[in-house]
Amino acid sequence: NAGVTQTPKFRVLKTGQSMTLLCAQDMNHEYMYWYRQDPGMGLRLIHYSVGEGTTAKGEVPDGYNVSRLKKQNFLLGLESAAPSQTSVYFCASSRTAEKANEKLFFGSGTQLSVL
């Protein structure tokens, strides 16, 4: 029962480098999300997907891109990393977001440091 799996767990980048975070879920969930978590702030939604082949912007999408080529996978890309993108990134999934009581299942997080 893997649930939501994120890789890698830690990553250090230099300013301007690019990288991709991988999220995989085995629960056949339609919705997937990428959040960032910073000290003293609530989780902030970067991008989300309501199904295979579809993506949408969240609250803080600038500097990030996403792709959902397969239902079970949701990739988060940083094209040119900046120190402001130093954060903990969480992937999450849910069966749907069209029912208010649907809970989120989170991956274990990725600690990203941009120097």
Partner 1 sequence: GQNIDQPTEMTATEGAIVQINCTYQTSGFNGLFWYQQHAGEAPTFLSYNVLDGLEEKGRFSSFLSRSKGYSYLLLKELQMKDSASYLCAVMDSNYQLIWGAGTKLIIKP
Residues of this chain that interact with partner 1 (CB under 8 A) are 4, 40-45, 90, 97-98, 100-101, 103-109
Buried b (16+ CB within 10 A) or exposed e, 83-110: eebbbebbbbbbeeeeeeeeebebbebb
Least distance between partner 1 and beta carbon 108 (Å): 5
Least distance between partner 1 and beta carbon 99 (Å): 9
Least distance between partner 1 and beta carbon 71 (Å): 20
Query: Cβ closer to partner 1: 15 or 37?
Result: 37
Query: Cβ closer to partner 1: 15 or 54?
Result: 54
Query: Cβ closer to partner 1: 14 or 40?
Result: 40
Query: Cβ closer to partner 1: 14 or 103?
Result: 103
